[in-house]
Amino acid sequence: MTHQYSVEQLPKQLERIIQELEKGGSAQITRQGEQVAVILCATEYDRLLHEKLGFGKALEQFRQEYNVVEADINQSRDFSKYSR
C-alpha cells in the first residue's frame, strides 16, 4: 500500500513511516502537492535492484498474475483496429 506524506511531515513522522514500510509497501513524498520522492520497503527495493526479467519470464509472470482466459480477451475482436 502506498502512503503519501509531505516533506514537512517527515521530521515529525519518520519513525512511524519507517515502521509502516517495514510491513511492506511504499510512501510518496510531496512538496506543495507535487511528488518529489518515493520511499520503498527494503524488500521492494531489493526486488527492483536484483530482478531482471526477460520478456518471456515477464510474460509468464503476467499470465500467472492475471487470468487472461477469464478476461475473455479476443485478439481479433479487441485489437483489430490496431492491426492495420
pLDDT at 80: 64
Contact 40, 21 (CB under 8 A): yes
| Burial of residue 3, with CB atoms counted within 10 A of its CB: 0-12 exposed, 13-18 middle, 19 or more buried | middle
Domains within the chain, CATH numbers bracketed:
2-71 (3.40.1620.10)
Is the confidence at residue 22, as pLDDT, over 60?
yes
Best CA proximity match to 7, nearest among 24, 22, 28, 21? 28
When pLDDT is cut at 50, 70 and 90, the band that residue 1 belongs to is low
Give the end-to-end CA distance of the chain in Å, rounded to a whole number: 40
Torsion of CA 30, 31, 35, 36, to 10 degrees: -100
Q: What is the pLDDT of residues 23-81, one digit of tens each?
A: 988 999 999 999 999 999 998 898 888 877 788 888 888 878 887 667 776 766 766 66
